[in-house]
Amino acid sequence: MSIFSNLPEWNEIGTEPNQTKKDAGWQAGEKPPADWFNWLFNRTYESLIEVDSNANTLDDRVTIAEGDIAIAENELNVIDSNGDGKVDNADNADNATNVTSTYKDNDIDTNADGKVDNADNADYAVNADNALNAEFAESADKLSGNTLTQIQDMFYPVGSIYTNAAVSTNPGTLLGFGTWVKFGEGKVLVGQDGTDGDFNALGETGGSKTHTLTENEMPSHTHGYTDRYVGYEAEYAVSGDSKNITSTEDVTDPTGGDAAHNNVQPYIVVYMWKRTA
């Protein structure tokens, strides 16, 4: 359907003005050549024709889209009208996208709820009866069997560490698969480093929560001290005199309690498990 009525026709192509004139525009007192006007009118006419043509194409697309919506609405209710245990059509069988309309022997509706019980042969079945992304899936009924195991192993292969900051339940129960043991209780994890003898082998442990410094670990330092005087008398053979001699013993003031110091880094506690099978 045309959006213009009585569109003014202008077929003379004329001559396109140079870029300098396009940039500067008409100036007061100028008399533009007729060919320039013809070019302007023709370009306007041709552009309006194009707009009208695109409007017709858009109208056709809207009509097609409305038809597709009507078809989709008819496919929403998957039914077994003759009670033979087979779905009449399977285009949208229980959220199954792109399931072919050719009936499959195993695609049945036993409880007559209008939904396919399983999608064992649902070609291109996506979300077929809770089968998440089971494209080209045989046995796509809730991703049972090897399909589910493969997905579980992809996210948590044996040796994986699982952490939870709220729930203490064993992941074997919480996630429903695998054998898990508590791991790293009271310890932090550190990445393997083949160049460091303390961290070069998996499973190595080390470190301590507290530590008492040894003499070699203490920084170099000095202390104040208290003078103590000890007097004693000695006999000198020189001139037969007897002299009182005073000796000085220097002792530092005692300090410190010999206690271990805290050796713990900042931390936050979570539940941590390792998958063993």
Q: What is the pLDDT of residue 273?
A: 97
Q: What is the pLDDT of residue 100?
A: 40
From 221, 227, 215, 220, select the one nearest 251 (Cα to Cα).
227
Q: What is the pLDDT of residue 274?
A: 97
Q: What is the pLDDT of residue 156?
A: 93
Q: What is the pLDDT of residue 104?
A: 45
Q: What is the pLDDT of residue 159?
A: 95
Q: Report d(CA 110, CA 92) in Å as an integer.
A: 17
Q: What is the pLDDT of residue 91?
A: 44
Residue type, 241: D
Report, as ranges of residue numbers, the positions in the chain whose pLDDT lies below 70: 1-2, 58-146, 225-251
Q: What is the pLDDT of residue 98?
A: 39
pTM check: above 0.75:
no
Q: What is the pLDDT of residue 130?
A: 45
Q: What is the pLDDT of residue 112?
A: 61
Radius of gyration for the chain, computed over Cα atoms and rounded to the nearest angstrom: 46
Q: What is the pLDDT of residue 110?
A: 60
Q: What is the pLDDT of residue 221?
A: 83
Q: What is the pLDDT of residue 180?
A: 97
Domain boundaries, the chain: 19-75, 79-155
Asked whether the beta carbons of 157 and 275 are under 8 A apart, the reply is yes
Q: What is the pLDDT of residue 26?
A: 85
Joined together, the tokens standing for residue 247 give: 């000796």
Q: What is the pLDDT of residue 114?
A: 56
247, burial (CB in 10 Å: exposed 0-12, middle 13-18, buried 19+): exposed
